[in-house]
Amino acid sequence: MDAEQKMAVKAQFNAYLESIDTLEGPENQVDLLHVFQELSGLKNEVRLESRQVKKALDDFRQAFTSLDSKQQALIAQIRSASAFGQKKEGNHDHRQLLLDLVGLHDRISAGLEQRIPKPNLTERLFNAGSRLRQWIQAHQKGQEMTRTRIEEIMARNQVKPMQVVGRHFDPMTMQAVATAAVPDKEEGLVLEEQRKGFFAGDEVLRPAEVVVNKSN
């Protein structure tokens, strides 16, 4: 390479360096400090959320363990009462146990109807909260099994739900907690069941709480 070619190459290289300096002016430079600050804030947020998830997981475990213990104790009482033939007519203790069992069935059903919230952006990026979600899903499956066992015990004790929606109000089996006016429905027709009613054999164990149609 002769001297003239060397000068040409050097000139091209200098022009290239000048073009880089122009592109990397203050208005075009990446604010690395701002990026690092954002990453640091996100890291702290993930750390804080992880602690919150751990605390929530511990709280859930403690609450559900206590609930499971009460459930198992109640189920054992019902089985014991049935085994000793304590479901005779007028047996107050057995009736109260069945009412408690129905109430437990209500609470479990209400809990299972609650949907697990979708993960937010932080959870999707950093998998935060996945342990809590997995544990809740596993607990829900356990609750579904418990509800099935409760329904089996209810069936053995001849406890069955009432069918009231679309039927005429019956004060012997229902309790009107509200009224509504629907012109194309008959007056006195049950429009909605707010709390399910149950029979124990041929007797009313718990009346249904209903909304009744009433014309103005």
Asked whether residue 8 carries a pLDDT value surpassing 90, the answer given is no
* pLDDT, tens digit, 9 for 90 and up, residues 146-203: 888 888 888 988 999 999 999 999 999 999 999 999 988 899 999 999 999 999 999 9
Asked whether residue 56 carries a pLDDT value surpassing 60, the answer given is no
The Cα–Cα gap between 182 and 193 comes to: 16
Asked whether residue 51 carries a pLDDT value surpassing 70, the answer given is no
Q: What percent of the chain has pLDDT over 70?
A: 47
| pLDDT class of 23 with cuts at 50, 70, 90 | very low
> 3-state SS of the chain: helix, strand, coil percent to 5?
60, 15, 25
Contacts of residue 139, Cβ cutoff 8 Å, sequence gap at least 6: 60, 64
Q: What's residue 89's pLDDT?
A: 46
For domain 158-216, give the CATH number. 2.30.22.10
pTM of the complete model beyond 0.85: no
Asked whether residue 46 carries a pLDDT value surpassing 60, the answer given is no
Q: What's residue 157's pLDDT?
A: 87
Q: Where are the domains of the chain?
A: 32-157, 158-216
The more confident residue out of 128 and 149 is 149
Using DSSP, state whether 2 is helix, strand or coil: coil
Q: What's residue 146's pLDDT?
A: 82
Q: Report the pLDDT averaged over residues 43-51.
A: 59
> Please, are residues 141 and 183 in contact by the beta-carbon 8 Å criterion?
no
> Please, are residues 52 and 131 in contact by the beta-carbon 8 Å criterion?
no
* pLDDT, tens digit, 9 for 90 and up, residues 64-113: 555 566 666 666 666 665 554 554 444 667 788 888 889 888 888 887 77
Asked whether residue 25 carries a pLDDT value surpassing 70, the answer given is no
